[in-house]
């Protein structure tokens, strides 16, 4: 079964904001490989190739035409070697038109996505949840350290060394996942309703 990611997960792995991806979806600049309907809502799901395409598209220094975006999606997300004026040569992209040839270096983007994918996969195996531990709060396996708490420290800008000192039981890979998790946005949907407390009339 193909590994698929939500908008928030794809954004964290590509190191862009979820809003950036949602805007690209609205403009149809990005068309993920999969989508599913949940009631009236449509949930887009991204493959690893889709995430790489998003990263390259967002980092591009100038606007691309619709044809160029479709061509890059064919190469980066669908695995084609060539599409229209674009082709893949090793880790990079090459644009050819007549005698003009432009090389687009993609190795840094591939490394970023690969690093974050590795952290994501590690965390999915490393973080567990059990009703018997902190009421089911996701924790790092073999510890009582909540993932959400460590992620919140990264959100607050606490230096990694300080977090390491506070939680010596966490490995560098654990911290890498917590940092990645800290970039996950809120899941789309209706905001939670606030708990309403009503005072009952006193019994007579």
Nearby residues of 53 by Cβ (< 8 Å), 6 or more positions away: 30, 72, 73, 76, 77
Of the listed ranges 35-44, 102-111, 195-204, the one predicted with least confidence: 195-204
**Whole-number mean pLDDT of the chain?**
88
The alpha-carbon radius of gyration of the chain (Å, integer) is 21
pLDDT beyond 90 at 61: no
Domains of the chain: 7-109 (no CATH), 129-181 (1.10.10.10)
Tell me: the pLDDT tens digits for 65-91?
A: 999 999 999 999 999 999 999 999 999
Largest separation between any pair of C-alpha atoms in the chain: 93
pLDDT beyond 90 at 180: yes
Write the pLDDT tens digit of every residue in 28-44. Answer: 999 898 888 878 788 89
Task: Say what the pLDDT of residue 123 is.
Answer: 95
pLDDT digits (tens, 9 = 90+) for 142-165: 999 999 999 999 999 999 999 999
How far apart, in Å, are the Cα atoms of 163 and each of 5, 38, 148, 155? Answer: 28, 39, 13, 12
Percent pLDDT > 90 in the chain is 74
pTM (2 d.p.): 0.83
Q: Residue 202 pLDDT more than 70?
A: no
What residues contact 149, with CB distance under 8 A and at least 6 apart?
A: none
């Amino acid at each position: 079964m193909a590994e698929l990611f939500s908008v928030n997960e794809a954004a964290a792995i590509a190191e862009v904001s979820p809003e950036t991806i949602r805007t690209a979806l609205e403009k149809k600049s990005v068309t993920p490989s999969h989508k599913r309907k949940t009631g009236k809502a449509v949930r887009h799901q991204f493959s690893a190739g889709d995430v790489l395409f998003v990263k390259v598209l967002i980092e591009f220094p100038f606007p691309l035409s619709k044809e160029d975006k479709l061509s890059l999606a064919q190469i980066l997300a669908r695995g084609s070697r060539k599409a229209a004026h674009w082709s893949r040569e090793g880790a990079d992209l090459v644009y050819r038109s007549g005698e003009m040839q432009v090389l687009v270096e993609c190795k840094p983007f591939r490394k970023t996505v690969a690093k974050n994918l590795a952290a994501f996969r590690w965390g999915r195996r490393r973080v567990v949840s059990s009703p018997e531990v902190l009421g089911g709060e996701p924790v790092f396996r073999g510890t009582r350290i909540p993932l959400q708490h460590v992620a919140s420290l990264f959100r607050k800008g606490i230096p990694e060394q300080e977090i390491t000192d506070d939680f010596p039981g966490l490995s560098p890979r654990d911290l890498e996942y917590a940092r990645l998790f800290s970039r996950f946005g809120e899941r789309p949907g209706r905001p939670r309703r606030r708990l309403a407390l009503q005072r009952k009339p006193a019994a007579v």
